[in-house]
Structure 1
Amino acid sequence: MSQTPSWVSGRRFIGLFVDMFCTTMIDVAVELQFPSYLFFASPASFLSFMLDVPSLDSQLSRNSVTELRVRGFVNSVPRSVLPTSVLKQGDGYSWYLHHGRKFTETKGIIVNTFTELEPFVLDTLSTSDVPKVYPVGSIMDLNGPAQWHPDRAQ
């Protein structure tokens, strides 16, 4: 095991929060012996799909499968409504596989939803073998992307 870095000693460090696109930082947390948590900015239904992509891999590779069972969905999901990047099984698909697997390596997942909005999927995830899911939404950016413009003086 590695030693805790000197910049951490004497400080109380709770864990490392990573974005849904920065899952490689989970490996950093493991190396530093810190718990990692995922912040998933999309709804819990999409989280459920992402967590299921690795187990759906064999079905997705067969064009004959027209409907898929995703644990957080009440009804089966028609293949035709899946993102194109999943259906083509190229680089985009490998992204779904990689991140879906990495999500399960965290101590918990903070998701942008609330219980009353997605009760079925949150109940399903709470009884599944995935990290604990914490609904913290709805998180919204009320100012919009105009505030991010590079020419805008801050």
Structure 2
Amino acid sequence: MLIMVERDHLTVRSELPLLNKVQQWFEQFCLKYLCQRGWTENQLYRLNLALAEGFTNAVRHAHKTLPLETTIDIELSLWVDRMEIRIWDHGQPFNPDEVVEPELGKPQEGGYGWFLLRRLTDRVVYERSADERNCLLIIEYSRQ
């Protein structure tokens, strides 16, 4: 049976300058819970970068036409075997399977964020929830 060890939640307005607050909150969570469980600095760096990419995508793309007051909810869940980051937005959904992966050396508009997220972490899932929000789920497995 898998056991959840810790969980935290943050709600912020849809504003890019709040990325600093989001990352500081994430780093505090990591210092408090992940470092003593053997998570490597490299894993934490990649998760932090994935969180930043997910948050900025929600602000820039999902909430592009929505008021700044529109909230983004972020949840961190630490399990015995993995870390999960969930980022919920209120924008129109998109199909990640339709995102064309950028080719090296060929200019392309868009698609880089999704490409980066898939390379940074073990698993990325994007789905529409029953409450009409989108959820970006980022998963990294423990290497212990």
TM-score bracket for the superposition, by shorter chain length: under 0.3
Higher relative contact order (CA 8 A, sep 6+): 2
- Structure with larger Rg: 1
**Whose strand proportion is higher, 1 or 2?**
2
Q: Give the TM-score, by structure 2 length.
A: 0.26
